[in-house]
């Protein structure tokens, strides 16, 4: 039995979401993507996605506190970038 799911976009995040650490948000996004991929979701990672992920990782390594403040859920959700890569 196939279940068709259509995502809703533009749903505002609760204020409590801004208090979640960037590393935790990235980890949750990665695990969610892996789970969805294991159930058949075709995830296409572009060169732009990889570049964006590298920029965030580099910025986080240099200054985790400032990067967490700048990479808010609203800013990262507004981007079309995937930010997740698989091996």
Listed by start position, the domains of the chain span 45-87
Rounded to 5 degrees, φ, ψ at 28 are: -65, -40
How large is the average pLDDT for residues 14-43?
84
Which tops the pLDDT comparison, 83 or 60? 60
Which tops the pLDDT comparison, 57 or 5? 57
CB atoms under 10 Å from CB of 68, counted, come to 18
Distance CA 46, CA 14 (A): 29
Q: To the nearest whole number, what is the mean pLDDT of the chain?
A: 78
pTM of the shown model: 0.59
Please report how many Cα atoms fall inside a 13 Å half-sphere around the Cα of residue 7, on the Cβ side. Answer: 4
- What lies within 8 Å, CB to CB, of 40 at 6+ separation is none
Predicted pLDDT of residue 31: 93
How large is the average pLDDT for residues 7-14?
75
Q: 81 by DSSP, 3-state: which?
A: coil
Which tops the pLDDT comparison, 80 or 66? 66
């Amino acid at each position: 039995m196939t279940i068709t799911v259509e995502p809703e976009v533009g749903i505002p995040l609760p204020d409590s979401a801004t208090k979640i650490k960037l590393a935790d948000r990235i980890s949750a996004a990665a695990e969610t993507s892996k789970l969805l991929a294991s159930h058949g979701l075709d995830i296409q990672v572009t060169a732009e996605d990889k570049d964006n992920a590298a920029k965030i990782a580099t910025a986080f390594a240099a200054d985790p506190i400032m990067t967490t403040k700048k990479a808010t859920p609203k800013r990262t959700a507004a981007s079309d970038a995937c930010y997740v890569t698989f091996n």
